[in-house]
Amino acid sequence: MAKHTHPFHMVDQSPWPLTGALSALTLTMGLIKWFHKMNPNLLMLAMFITLVTMIQWWRDIIRESTFQGNHTSIVMSGLRWGMILFIVSEILFFASFFWAFFHSSLSPSIELGSSWPPSGISPFNPFQIPLLNTAILLSSGVTITWAHHSIMENNHPQSLQALFLTIILGLYFTSLQAWEYWEAPFSIADSAYGTTFFVATGFHGLHVIIGTSFLSICFIRLMFFHFSPNHHFGFEAAAWYWHFVDVVWLFLFISIYWWGS
């Protein structure tokens, strides 16, 4: 029997960092092949390796935490700091897109007709679908808090309902964004407006999809009773991430959709 003389989690050897590195290399090569040769097969292989790595690695972490009890309070503290630093890095990632947007829009160059939106661009009306999307994401912030409090109160049925609603709102947001992209009268190749618009909102949309997947995994774990009233960090991390995505949307809505139109 192992001696438990310290609270840290000494992880076992794992192949997943190696397959993760392999998937990252294959992903970059696959994208280049796709862009230059119009051939997606290497990219598809890369997506497959990435998906398999994610599933197996996170499955191992669920086993280590929920079923082996390796996540002591000090291990949880490390995970919290990890998630905080990750979200800070994401904030800086989005800061660069806002920088690009304000760089182009605050003193529009002569090529843009010295105006913003540039001449020839007809932007979306911010008070139609974008405002609805704002309401959807703000509501999802309410439902996820409802889910969190239900978990802390050991109210399993309500936590399932509230988390389910949150995921549905996330999917609703994604479909509305997809619809609006489909309907857009400008493309990513239409001046600095199209570029900054689609890069910023596109990466935000990708983050909503990632957040929805994160919440869906939490929903499945909730169904299998993996969360206890004072130990449910997987859910908390997903909720932090979801709030971050929500706040980024508020900035996108106010500056790019509203002020920028």
Partner 1 sequence: MASLALRKVISQVPRNVLYLSTRSLSKNLVDTFSMEHATGLEKKEMMAKAAGNENPFDMRVYKRGPGTKTDPNIIPSAYEERLIGCICEEDATCINWMWLEKGDPKRCECGYWFKLVDAKPL
User: Which residue ranges make up the site for partner 1 (CB under 8 A)?
Assistant: 3-7, 67-74, 150, 152-155, 157-158, 160-161, 164, 219-220, 223, 225, 228-231
Backbone angles phi, psi at 143, to 5 degrees: -65, -35
User: Minimum CB separation from partner 1 for residue 65, in Å?
Assistant: 8
Beta carbons of 257 and 124 less than 8 angstroms apart: yes
- Judged by CB, which is closer to partner 1: 7, or 15? 7
Neighbours of 70 (CB within 10 A): 17
User: Minimum CB separation from partner 1 for residue 167, in Å?
Assistant: 9
- Judged by CB, which is closer to partner 1: 109, or 228? 228
CA distance 138 to 60: 33
- Judged by CB, which is closer to partner 1: 73, or 89? 73
CA distance 126 to 103: 21
- Judged by CB, which is closer to partner 1: 116, or 219? 219
Beta carbons of 80 and 233 less than 8 angstroms apart: yes
User: Minimum CB separation from partner 1 for residue 86, in Å?
Assistant: 23
- Judged by CB, which is closer to partner 1: 74, or 254? 74
User: Minimum CB separation from partner 1 for residue 2, in Å?
Assistant: 8
Question: What are 60-69's contacts with CB under 8 Å, separation 24+?
Answer: 60/14, 60/16, 62/221, 62/226, 62/234, 64/9, 64/11, 65/234, 66/221, 66/226
User: Minimum CB separation from partner 1 for residue 144, in Å?
Assistant: 15
